[in-house]
Amino acid sequence: MSNVTPKITGRSIMAQHAKPAHKATARMLGYADGYLALADLLALRLSDQERAWLAYAALRAMGHGTACTVADAALGA
């Protein structure tokens, strides 16, 4: 086992490693006037692939029935 002590910077993992656009997006969450406005802000700041992964993670965090209901509502089904 090594005697190396990890460097503690006082900065979060997000602050240390996230891209500037990701940091700006995270800050915007508090300023969005409702979730529909958030969708517009995400479209401005994140790529299609980044938004897809965000949607995927959000849907995976829900139960199957809820995820299907949300996906249907988002897609206009």
List the pLDDT tens digit at each of the 77 positions of the chain.
556 665 666 777 777 888 888 888 777 777 767 777 888 888 988 899 999 999 999 999 999 999 999 999 999 97
Q: How far apart are CA 16 and CA 22, in angstroms?
A: 12
What was the pLDDT predicted at 5? Answer: 64
37 with 20, same domain: the answer is: yes
Same domain for 39 and 3?
yes
9 and 21 housed in the same domain = yes
Number of domains in the chain: 2
The CA distance from 25 to 63, in Å, is 26
36 and 5 housed in the same domain: yes
One domain for residues 4 and 23: yes
SS3 47: coil
Q: Write out the residue range of the structural domain in which residue 62 sits.
A: 47-77
Q: Are residues 27 and 53 in the same domain?
A: no
Do 28 and 52 fall within a single domain? Answer: no
pLDDT at 70: 95
